[in-house]
Amino acid sequence: MDVADRALRRELESLMELPYREYWTLISQWGPLLRTFATTIRIDTVNSSLEYPVPDIVQHPLGQAARRGPLRAGERVQITDPKGRLHTVMLVPGGRFQSSRGALDHDDIIGQPEAVTLFDGKLQFQVVRPLQTDYVMSMPRGAAIVYPKDAAQIVAFGDIFPGARVLEAGVGSGSLSMSLLQAVGTTGSLHSIERREDFAKIAQGNVDLWFGGRHPAWKVSVGDFNDVALSLQPESVDRVVLDMLTPWECLEAAEHALVPGGVLTIYVTTVTQLSRLHEDVTATRRFTRPQVWESSIRSWHLDGLAVRPDHRMVAHTGFLFTTRKVARKSLPQERGHRPAPSAEGLEGQWNQEEGWSENKELNPTVSPKKLRRSIRDVATKSRTWLSHDEAPDSRSQEEVVE
């Protein structure tokens, strides 16, 4: 880097102290090349500290309840272009949305009512606030998400009610946590446990950005589910939701925490996992006979008289497994008929767990580069758009995790 570049870099680094809106207003006036260079400096600055800044607990309306009225700067909007493609954009004063089908200035969107149609010449663009399903599909990811179709059924069939005390294991990118928090409300509680700290940071960023801050009913712990669940008071949780590679290893801890009659909901992706899980749940004799199903969604094409199923669909994403805890002084109901000879089964791959963690189909590998990018993304957005305590660095690491 020559002397001129160093001088320019020092000038741009001084801009990092400006408020975010003024920063991007100035950058947008200097052209794409300078904007790219300045963005690189900002990424370098954020990358030097990948700690996620925990925002304040929200005291005002949460999530969509706070997104009423005209569209405001700092809000996320969904723009549908003339070809029907969806684009998620954060509104910034002086910003500009550009696509191959036209462009819109952010200043022309800010202050408009929701669901407005704007024009670029003869091209029409529809602008709305994204729904939770839209946000989940476009947010930064670490682990794979639980799709909205599965999250909706977990809430319904897992009987997640307002005021429920829920224990969740396997936070991933936070998509299921959002649905659970909306179901329990501010009168319930959700304790989410994640073994990987990097996934926990991404999930916290995604959930906090959706609700506009830290949900008052949410607690996040980084650690092993068994250790956390067994440290809780016995029979102090109404519902348990597990999304992990080997959920049968957590049955004892889940049974310890669940109240009698409490629902255990487990999400697994493969037949081998499902078979092993069913055998182990049955062997505990602490749970009722489970219900298992999968769901597929197929949208339809509607255009005049051309009414037909779409060529693409969301088919198998995973199996949902629900069962209920039996009272401690009781036993589960016995089968009313003899099982078929084929139900006895033989030992198979599901009994050989040594290679499961290395199996990329069961446990996909997420590159460190992708994780760093996702953490930077949610941390930068949180620092910019959410309120934080004046001295977040003074908190202990345990407080930051929780």
Position 295 in a domain: yes
Count of domains for the chain: 3
Position 183 in a domain: yes
Which of these, 229, 166, 159, 168, lies nearest to 193 by C-alpha position? 168
Same domain, 119 and 146: no
pLDDT in tens, 128-179: 999 999 999 989 888 889 999 999 999 999 999 999 999 999 998 999 999 9
Same domain, 143 and 279: yes
Same domain, 289 and 176: yes
pLDDT at 64 exceeding the cut of 70: yes
Residue 311: band (very low, low, confident or very high) from pLDDT cuts 50, 70, 90: very high
CATH of the domain at 79: 3.10.330.20
Determine the pLDDT at residue 385.
78
Which of these, 163, 349, 327, lies nearest to 239 by C-alpha position? 163
Pair 89, 97: CB distance under 8 Å: yes
pLDDT in tens, 220-267: 999 999 999 999 999 999 999 999 999 999 999 999 999 999 999 999
Contacts of 246 (CB under 8 A, 6+ apart): 273, 353, 356
Query: Angle, nearest 10°, between helix axes 368-385 and 32-47?
Result: 100
What is the residue-averaged pLDDT of the chain?
82
Of 239 and 376, more confident = 239
Residue 108: band (very low, low, confident or very high) from pLDDT cuts 50, 70, 90: very high
Same domain, 148 and 285: yes
Same domain, 192 and 108: no
Determine the pLDDT at residue 382.
83
Segments forming the whole domain that contains residue 106: 68-128
Pair 295, 151: CB distance under 8 Å: no
Position 16 in a domain: yes
CATH of the domain at 142: 3.40.50.150
